Amino acid sequence: MENFIVSARKYRPQTFDTVVGQKSITNTLKNAIKNNQLAQAFLFCGPRGVGKTTCARILAKTINCAFLSPNMEACDQCPSCVSFNENASFNIYELDGASNNSVDDIRTLVDQVRIPPQMGKYKVYIIDEVHMLSASAFNAFLKTLEEPPPYAKFILATTEKHKILPTILSRCQIFDFKRITVDDIAGHLHHVAEMEHITADDNALHIIAQKADGAMRDALSIFDQLVSFAGDQLTYNTVLENLNVLDYEYFFKITDQILQGDISGPLLTINDIIGKGFEGQHFIIGFGEHLRNLLVCKDTATAGLLETAPSIRAHYVEQSARCPVSLLLTLLDINNRCDLNYKTSNNKRLHLELSLMQMCAPMIRQNGGQTAPPAAAIAPPAPPKPAPVAVVPGLPSQETTVQPPASHPQPPAPVVQHAEAGPGQPESSGSPAETPPRKPSETVRMRDIKSDFTSTTSIRKPVSKTGNDALANDEDLARYEITTPFTQTELILCWDEYADKLKNESPHLYSTLKNSRPVLQDNWNITFTLDNKVLEDELTLRKTDMMEFLRMQLNNFKIQLKTTIAESQQTLKPYTDKEKFELMAGKNPALRTLREELDLEIEY
């Protein structure tokens, strides 16, 4: 049986012109060969499967060719080209940076560089995955890389440029390879299919190209896998089935259901999708891409960003015309939040269904609360008509908020209702009536209108309307005027009592309060000195609770607590472990307690 060669090797480009998707780089290399301006070292970097090693091999083959074409391509007939094609060239060395990453490997390479080529102009060293070299190996390579013999050329390839030392980067010409576009990959797959006598749908090839994520090697590997399954007929459904890709039609269908405000439609569709074995996360990602494609179709300037098969683009353009931009942005935001919270949700299916129902909500509101008949039980009830509102003098119409009193009082005006003049009723003054008259029981009274301004007293405790609660509020107000005198000793006792409450809850703050004493100042101000800003921030969190405790215990509601930070004093710098521990323990006595409880020893 003949040995099978995968398409990635069988159809590997052999010339610059056959390289897919890297036109700017191949043109630059060809011009450098034509103008005899070859650098001593090149660095090819970029994602996997985009042609870095392929271009390195083509460059090595071309610069040693004896009969270059006018287009700066190798002839494939001279001894150098023939030996290269047969993998028997003594002038081209390929090394793997992952397995030759030591200093000894680089020293061996440097020794080989000293020997001139036996055939051709140059000795070319291709080092793949060069970022795997150790730092010592890089340093051993620096001098040779910067000043090699005139016949030596180095081509380094890597997928992780950021791991290479800057001293290496500065000695190389850097070429950044880009991801290959979906159209370029699909076109190359079409060429391979023709060479293999395989009938493939354009939509199927575009799905493979999208799945490859810009890597030609991945696309060819997927192509070989699908051909093994389907034979010489590669259809769109075959690709969907084998690559676990969701059909475009599901996304178009759900979008149409959202535009109709049909809540039950997306729920039934997502149930069908999950029933076919697709994960909810898979749908969320695909639907987000679908909404993005609809958005880029809204403008001809961004229509080129749409990477789909030509037969599907017309469907995108048609549906995009029916979707307002504001709606698409809203759907994208909901879909993005669903994606972020999906993994942490306990009920993932419900989380996805709620997001779909939220997507239907804007169209339901636009339709006046109407939805499809099957979803009548699910859809929220139509919002009631606005109730008639009495116009209060001095207030804007349709609102019942109280304005601050003006500097000059205005004369009272009668209450005007927005009502149509009926039999026996005088026509109302003011704006024309639009709503029916308010019932007597619905008349707005000034005492029922709540002000937007809140007093400082109401912040402490809401004011009730009953007689007993009103009396309690008066007592609270009177309590804040109590200023019972107390002494420094009484303050210390209350201070220690509060500190004891924190002994188990916050040992660190407990030690701070115990070791520092408060000082009673004028006007019932209490000052408290702390060692540093960190302790002050920690005490700030409990300052309100602490003041309330002292006020209640000392029966003085004018107490104010103020904290200051002690000025730092110059001390000798600790050098030994014991001195360092004593310094830290002086600032934080809890460390000494921790050392005693754990029975820790200090090394001297």
CB atoms < 10 A from the CB of 346, how many? 6
Q: Which residues contact 126 (CB under 8 A, 6 or more apart)?
A: 53, 56, 57, 60, 92, 93, 94, 95, 155, 157
pTM above 0.75?
A: no
CA 296 → CA 130, 258, 287, distances in Å?
39, 19, 14
What pLDDT does residue 572 have?
56
Which sequence spans correspond to the domains of the chain? 7-176, 182-243, 248-373, 488-565
What pLDDT does residue 352 have?
92
DSSP summary character for residue 465: S
Please determine whether the domains at 182-243 and 488-565 fall in the same fold group of CATH: no
Which residue in this structure is represented by tokens 């104010």?
560
- The CA-based angle 270-273-276, given to 5 degrees, is 150
What pLDDT does residue 565 have?
77
What pLDDT does residue 463 have?
42
CATH assignment of 248-373, among 3.50.50.60, 1.20.272.10, 1.10.3720.10, 3.40.50.1700:
1.20.272.10
Beta bridge partners of 564: 529
Is residue 549 within 8 A of residue 491, CB to CB? The reply is no
What span, in angstroms and rounded, lies between the C-alpha atoms of 525 and 518?
Answer: 10
Identity (one letter) of the amino acid at 280? G
What pLDDT does residue 465 have?
43
Averaged over successive runs of 10 residues, the pLDDT of the chain (604 residues) comes to 78 89 91 90 92 91 88 87 86 86 88 85 90 89 88 92 90 92 90 90 88 88 88 85 83 91 90 88 91 87 77 85 90 93 90 92 76 44 44 41 42 42 41 43 39 37 44 55 83 86 78 81 83 73 82 84 69 69 84 84 70
What pLDDT does residue 213 have?
84
- The CA-based angle 451-452-453, given to 5 degrees, is 90
Per the rule left: phi > 0, alpha: psi between -120 and 50, beta: everything else, 89 is beta
Rounded to the nearest 10 degrees, the angle between the axes of helix 310-321 and helix 248-259 is: 10
What pLDDT does residue 395 have?
39
Q: Which CATH class is domain 7-176?
A: alpha beta
Q: Which two tokens stand for residue 226?
A: 């699908």
Closest CA to 85 of 22, 16, 15: 15
What pLDDT does residue 359 have?
92
Q: Which two tokens stand for residue 436?
A: 């029916």
- The CA-based angle 30-32-35, given to 5 degrees, is 110
How distant is the alpha carbon of residue 515 from its chain centre? 47
What pLDDT does residue 397 have?
41
**What 3-state DSSP class applies to 158?**
strand
Closest CA to 342 of 271, 288, 411, 415: 288
DSSP summary character for residue 64: T
What pLDDT does residue 454 have?
38
* CATH topology for the 182-243 domain: Helicase, Ruva Protein; domain 3 (1.10.8)
> Which CATH number does 488-565 carry?
3.30.300
Beta bridge partners of 256: none
Q: Which two tokens stand for residue 77?
A: 């007939």
The end-to-end CA distance of the chain, in Å, is 77
What are the residue ranges of helices labelled H in 180-300? Answer: 182-195, 202-212, 216-230, 236-243, 248-259, 264-275, 280-296
Provide φ and ψ at 583, rounded to 5°.
-65, -45
Kind and range of the H or E run holding 302: none
What pLDDT does residue 568 have?
52
